[in-house]
Amino acid sequence: MTNKKPGAPGSGRFSGRILACAALATIVWACGNSTPSHTPGPTAAMTPTPWGTDSPSPTDSPTPTASPTPLGPTTFPIAVVVRFDDSRASITLDALKTAVAAGKITVPCEVAALGLSGKSLTISTATPCLAAEQITAKVHATAGSMALLPPGLVTPSIKVLAVGAADLFGAPSHRALDYPLLATGTVPVAWATYDKTDVRTLISTGDTCPDAGFPDMAVSKKKGWAWVLNGGTVHYRGTFMNTTYSGPQGNGWPVPLISRNGDSGKVGALISDNDVSANDFECPMVSTWKINTNGVKVFTIDPRVAKLLANQGGLKVVTLGSNHITDAGRDGVRKTIAYLDAAGIKHTGAGANLAEALAPAVVDVRGIKFAFVGWDDISGSRVATATLPGAAPMTDDNVCNSIKAARQVADIVIAMPQWGEPEYHANITKKQVAQRAFFYSCGADDILGSGTHWASWASILPGTNGPQFAIGSHGNFLFPQNWSRQTMEGVIVEATFYGKTLVQFRLHPYVVYQNAQPNLLNPTTDGKFVLHQVWSVSDIR
């Protein structure tokens, strides 16, 4: 956390570069009007044009009683926002110019001038304006809508688009870029306050047990383990029906026909670009590992995977709370932990004894501590006891005790349950609804679930300390199930915090190619299927 006062020159959201931006078009609006009053011509230093005789004075504009008092004109980066389930991840500078010029984007009435890359941004007289505090509700309720919003009003119930490659609430490399879109207006300091050093992004990938096709390609076919995380983007040529299993309509399951786009490395770049990252690691790493080629549900993993995930994947934390973590016996848990420790990956959910299995994995990100706790609710693994290794069973006492212990040592507590059966579904079950509420009541802030092998429901709910996210499951990230589109596709979760407050929850769709390598899907085309699978059964408030 920064000790500088918000809004002080040279600190917070007001850098000297931003204050120096000039030659921006000036637009004057009366809050509540659907059409702005346009005053042409740039100003020398982004100073709003005085209210003219044709426009109501600022005091005539309706202002919500809860709003803090505006403290004079200021310049600040302004976010481009869309509905939470909008498939777009970014907007180009040219597309943004076109949208603003065509009146296709709602602008806060409090904003008096806009500039893009240091130049004035032409705004159509047809551009709608809305009081800034009303924009989130409108965007949240309106599919396809797009608006501008001061960064201090951003919440996870709407989605911020990157402008070009620059992203106010994105991964470290994206928020390090100069953000091109600036606004001038008379707004409360809290709305305009933005300090990129107070932004922290979390990446979470999904079910991981790289057996079968993964070592077959990496080891037997000599691609190397680095190849597994070197996927790029792919596109579909179509689908076919796999009739090995009957499927929901009795005619099998759809399987995509996949082609590469020739841009390897994008998966590793995405997941390693984080402030903190988590993963559901389900299976034991042992030196006596073997490739599972006969379909038996007993897994062992090449120990080299630990350093692959740490070095190429940027992984910080795993939960080991799984029905497979003792597939190599209790000693397999000890060995797995030793490999994780050697790779610098923290762990929870299983351990040398129950106390270790329930202990939180804590990561300090520039003074904000994230704690992760995990448990298993599917039968299969041996449970940890006071003296024996195993998985942490998801009992009420274990859940609440571990969450409360994490609460004592961290600012943000994230629960990582492996839910109980049934598997292979996207909707939330009544049991999961009750478990989610219980996790929150014990003190968890957010939930990263796993175990259903499908990308499934998400939720953003109001909490005591602000919005709280949950996702039922991400799908199979490094888990060999290539018999259906639903088990091949998944979502990488990107959650962003401003200080301790959740401000964004975004999903990146992927598919596992050749039963051995995750590749990213275009979210506006082939990736829309899995995104709809999640959002259609989600509760985002």
The one-character DSSP state at 366 is T
Domain contains 11: no
Q: What is the pLDDT of residue 44?
A: 31
One-letter amino acid at 428 equals I
User: Which sign does the torsion angle of CA 206, 211, 214, 215 carry?
Assistant: positive
189 and 224 co-located in one domain: no
Domain contains 202: no
87 and 139 co-located in one domain: yes
State how far the Cα of 208 lies from the Cα of 305, in Å rounded to an integer.
10
Give the three-state DSSP class for 229: coil
* Residue at a domain's end among 140, 165, 194: 194
What total of structural domains would you count in the chain?
Answer: 2
The half-sphere exposure of 329 on its side-chain side, counting CA atoms within 13 A, is 5
Domain contains 334: yes
Q: What is the pLDDT of residue 69?
A: 65
E strand or H helix at 351: strand 350-351
State how far the Cα of 340 lies from the Cα of 356, in Å rounded to an integer.
14
State how far the Cα of 541 lies from the Cα of 528, in Å rounded to an integer.
21
Work out whether strand 446-448 and strand 458-463 pair parallel, antiparallel, or are unpaired: unpaired
The one-character DSSP state at 337 is H
pLDDT tens, 474-484? Answer: 999 999 999 99
356 and 447 co-located in one domain: yes
Q: How far apart are the first and last CA of the chain?
A: 27
What number of other Cβ atoms are within 10 A of residue 483's Cβ?
16
Q: What is the pLDDT of residue 66?
A: 55
One-letter amino acid at 521 equals L
State how far the Cα of 299 lies from the Cα of 328, in Å rounded to an integer.
8
CB 299 within 8 A of CB 327: yes
175 and 269 co-located in one domain: no
259 and 367 co-located in one domain: yes
- The CATH number covering residue 360 comes to 3.60.21
Closest CA to 187 of 230, 236, 229, 131: 131
158 and 233 co-located in one domain: no
Q: Is the peptide bond before 6 cis (omega within 30 degrees of 0)?
A: no
Q: What is the pTM of this model?
A: 0.88
Q: What is the pLDDT of residue 294?
A: 77
Q: What is the pLDDT of residue 29?
A: 37
Domain contains 231: yes
111 and 260 co-located in one domain: no
Domain contains 6: no
Q: What is the pLDDT of residue 339?
A: 98
Closest CA to 504 of 52, 156, 16: 156
Closest CA to 81 of 120, 108, 110, 62: 108
302 and 411 co-located in one domain: yes
Phi, psi (rounded to 5 degrees) for 311: -85, -50
Domain span at residue 273?
Answer: 207-540
413 and 321 co-located in one domain: yes
214 and 87 co-located in one domain: no
211 and 173 co-located in one domain: no
CB 346 within 8 A of CB 281: no
pLDDT averaged per 10 residues, the chain (length 541): 34 32 36 33 30 31 52 90 98 96 95 94 88 97 97 98 98 98 95 97 97 97 98 97 90 96 98 98 97 86 98 98 97 98 98 98 98 97 98 98 98 98 96 98 98 97 96 97 97 98 98 98 98 98 97
Domain contains 335: yes
Domain contains 276: yes
Contacts of 486 (CB under 8 A, 6+ apart): 253, 424, 426, 454, 455, 475, 533
What number of other Cβ atoms are within 10 A of residue 61's Cβ?
17
395 and 523 co-located in one domain: yes
* Residue at a domain's end among 194, 226, 254: 194
Domain contains 503: yes
One-letter amino acid at 114 equals L
Q: What is the pLDDT of residue 1?
A: 41
* Residue at a domain's end among 137, 170, 194: 194
State how far the Cα of 128 lies from the Cα of 56, in Å rounded to an integer.
16
